[in-house]
Amino acid sequence: MRDSNRPKGLTVTSIFMSITNSMGWVIINWFKPNDRVTFVISTILLVIGYLVIWFYWKGRNWARILVLLMSLLVLYNLLYWRLRGIAEQVVLGAEAALAIFLLYWLNTRSVREFFITTKSYLTLPAQLVDATLSNRLVQQHFPERTDLSDCTPSEPSQGSVPFDSTLVSDFSL
């Protein structure tokens, strides 16, 4: 990873996103009948969130796009501010403040260029391969032939190969 080219706010926003991500456990209502199911689903979503944050920190553009989309979703959740309890309002307020900053900052030219120019982890360097057959390899597998450099290519002919004109009729409907 190119740490020298990493935008200054990338690590800080990754830490803040990790903190707000873990706040998801705070808003679980442990007095509802399906609290364990809610906990398991929330934990799975939080783990996915941490994976996105990791790849965001590593400079993957798809993770930046997911962060932008999630920021829009957080702002949409502000419509239900009054319906939330105090703990949920605190979490939503912290997420909304971070979302507003991220929507601006992740669209600045230098940050966009960093994410777009970061090399993919799947990119492999090309290697040159010499596919020329050596005489030793040919002699090993074809001992009756000693040297192929004197051979002239033969002309293709139908010679002893029988030609059946009914082949075309075999494939016709």
Residue 142 lies in a domain: no
Q: Two tokens at 7? A: 């935008």
44 is a domain residue: yes
Integer Rg of the chain from CA = 32
| Per-residue pLDDT tens digits for 17-69 | 999 998 877 777 778 888 888 888 889 999 999 999 999 999 999 999 999 99
- State residue 5 phi and psi, 5-degree precision: -95, -5
Q: Is residue 160 part of a domain?
A: no
129 inside domain: no
Question: What pLDDT, on a 0 to 100 scale, did the predictor assign at position 14?
Answer: 96
What is the span of the domain harbouring residue 79?
9-117
The whole-model pTM stands at 0.63
- Coil, helix or strand for 36? helix
For 106-123, how does the pLDDT look when each residue is reduced to its tens digit (9 = 90+)?
999 999 999 988 555 555
